[in-house]
């Protein structure tokens, strides 16, 4: 091509400067490694352009194996490898596309045991990417299997899958890592959230909602509401960082929260579970807000420990599982409500008054630990094991009412000094054996209290000073 005018004249070899992308020429012309050249056989005849005239040059690009997916590549047109034709002011960009992915899974009546049979009555699966598109599969086999191919999705996209206009309802939403998936299962009456890269948030769930009624949640101002009667599942090894509140519709015994093995629910906002259970092998780590379990439900996991800022029981709650619970601010049992503490360790690491109990605590075989870092009130109730202080605290813990300990009262050994001030209260030690342990360097301040030993079998009386000491056989 010959171009004249506007400062340019002469013959041009048009080429694109970009290294390490292509391993072969797109034309019969000579090829320089790392450079792409034009097909010289398609050159035009000579033309001339004045200053105010222009022409077009068309390029046909083919990216080879060296080019990355979802990667922008800039190029510029140069005069036979020397000066830039546009002085590098305007740089065109090509962004390579990701290959389409395949998403598949099974639909179940429960949590992965009983498949939804589509052989007699077909079941329709819908898939959306960032709430858009229209990907559909019809389940027509008895194993509930479905597969959708050629899904245009890249890493970070929100993929939502749901059963459409069926008697069975199920929703799964996940942050895609841009790869094929064969385990995107649908569980009837469940909303599954998962992150195959990074974490998933309420805003992500909002992005994934195409406003179809068969998507069983809604998000308003970053706050999530799961439809009443649906269980919220944080998928295995996923992190759910909501960035807003979590709640359910009207109270229902199926309004459950399950955090699966390796998964984490974290955040700083309120979570309310009204009517169902809170269970799972994963981690709950909430550093602000109030987690409320209302109505009747079970509470507890079997592996990872759970941490809450405020934890409130507003119903009849039974603790289950073997994991430990830490409340960094306030544990509350509301009036007319109850908590069976089971055999868990409940650590109250807040100071001032970390336990507000106007309802009923059934201590069972539990241990309650007060480990606030400054002056802390010890709530009047019946405990099984009661530990005063943490291993590194220096603080005074004061009884603000009469206390009964069914097993062992321990003033915990600390690198600082833990002091238990019995004030003017009655401390009843109902355990046998050694029901009162004062570790070395720790302090029992008897004030004007009464300490009663009421064990039903042989009991050792701890050597310390008492104000009133009662031995009740």
Contacts 24+ apart (CB under 8 A), 389-394: 389/414, 389/418, 389/419, 389/420, 389/442, 390/349, 390/414, 390/418, 391/415, 392/416, 393/418, 394/418
Summarised one tens digit per residue, pLDDT across range 78-125 is 554 555 555 545 556 677 778 899 999 999 999 999 999 999 999 999
Torsion angles phi and psi, residue 310, rounded to 5: -110, 140
pTM: 0.84
Instruction: Tally the residues of the chain.
Output: 473
Summarised one tens digit per residue, pLDDT across range 405-453 is 999 999 999 999 999 999 999 999 999 999 999 999 999 999 999 999 9
Q: Answer yes or no: is pLDDT of 176 > 90.
A: yes
User: What pLDDT is stored for residue 69 in this prediction?
Assistant: 74
Of the candidates 227, 238, 146, 128, the one whose C-alpha atom is nearest the C-alpha of residue 193 is: 238
pLDDT band at 13 (very low <50, low <70, confident <90, very high): very low
List residues bridging with 295 in a β-sheet: 315
What CA dihedral angle connects 254, 355, 268 and 201, to 10 degrees?
A: -20
Of the candidates 436, 453, 307, 462, the one whose C-alpha atom is nearest the C-alpha of residue 371 is: 307
Cα–Cα distances in Å, from 119 out to 103, 112, 137? 21, 18, 14
Cα separation, 54 vs 91, in Å, equals: 18
Of the candidates 368, 385, 264, the one whose C-alpha atom is nearest the C-alpha of residue 326 is: 368
The percent helix, strand, coil of the chain (3-state, each to 5) is 0, 45, 55
Cα separation, 55 vs 185, in Å, equals: 55
Cα separation, 78 vs 354, in Å, equals: 72
Q: Mean pLDDT over all residues of the chain?
A: 88
């Amino acid at each position: 091509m010959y171009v004249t005018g506007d400062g340019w004249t002469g013959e041009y070899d048009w080429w694109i400067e970009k290294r390490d992308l292509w391993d072969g020429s797109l034309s019969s012309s000579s090829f320089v490694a790392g450079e792409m050249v034009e097909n010289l056989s398609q050159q035009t005849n000579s033309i001339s352009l004045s200053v105010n005239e222009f022409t077009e040059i068309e390029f046909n690009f083919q990216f080879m194996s060296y080019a990355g997916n979802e990667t922008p590549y800039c190029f510029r047109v140069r005069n036979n490898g020397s000066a830039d034709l546009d002085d590098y002011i305007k740089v065109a960009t090509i962004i390579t596309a990701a290959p389409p992915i395949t998403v598949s899974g099974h639909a179940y009546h429960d949590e992965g045991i009983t498949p939804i049979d589509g052989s007699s009555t077909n079941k329709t699966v819908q898939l959306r990417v960032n709430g858009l598109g229209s990907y559909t599969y019809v389940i027509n086999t008895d194993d509930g299997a479905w597969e959708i191919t050629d899904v245009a999705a890249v890493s970070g996209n929100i993929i939502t899958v749901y059963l459409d206009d069926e008697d069975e309802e199920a929703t799964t939403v996940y942050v895609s890592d841009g790869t094929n998936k064969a385990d995107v299962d649908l569980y009837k009456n469940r909303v599954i959230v998962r992150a195959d890269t990074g974490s998933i948030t309420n805003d992500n769930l909002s992005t994934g909602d195409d406003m179809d009624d068969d998507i069983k949640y809604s998000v308003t101002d970053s706050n999530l509401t799961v439809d009443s009667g649906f269980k919220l599942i944080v998928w295995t090894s996923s992190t759910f960082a909501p960035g807003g509140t979590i709640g359910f519709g009207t109270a229902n015994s199926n309004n459950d929260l399950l955090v699966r093995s390796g998964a984490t629910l974290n955040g700083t906002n309120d979570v309310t579970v009204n009517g169902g259970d809170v269970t799972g092998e994963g981690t709950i780590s909430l550093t602000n807000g109030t987690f409320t379990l209302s109505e009747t439900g079970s509470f507890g996991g079997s592996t990872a420990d759970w941490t809450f800022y405020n934890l409130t029981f507003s119903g009849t709650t039974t603790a289950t599982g073997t994991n430990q619970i830490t409340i960094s601010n306030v544990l509350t049992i509301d009036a007319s409500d109850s908590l069976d503490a089971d055999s868990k360790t409940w650590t109250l690491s807040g100071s001032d008054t970390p336990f507000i109990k106007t309802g009923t605590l059934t201590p069972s075989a539990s241990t309650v630990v007060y480990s606030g870092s400054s002056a802390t009130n010890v709530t009047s109730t019946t405990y099984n094991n009661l530990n005063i202080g943490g291993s590194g605290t220096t603080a005074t813990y004061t009884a603000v009412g009469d206390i009964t300990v069914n097993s062992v009262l321990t003033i915990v050994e600390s690198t600082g000094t833990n002091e238990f001030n019995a004030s003017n209260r009655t401390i009843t030690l109902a355990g046998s054996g050694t029901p009162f342990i004062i570790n070395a360097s720790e302090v029992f301040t008897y004030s004007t209290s009464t300490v009663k030993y009421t064990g039903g079998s042989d009991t050792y009386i701890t050597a310390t000073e008492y104000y009133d000491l009662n031995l009740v056989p």
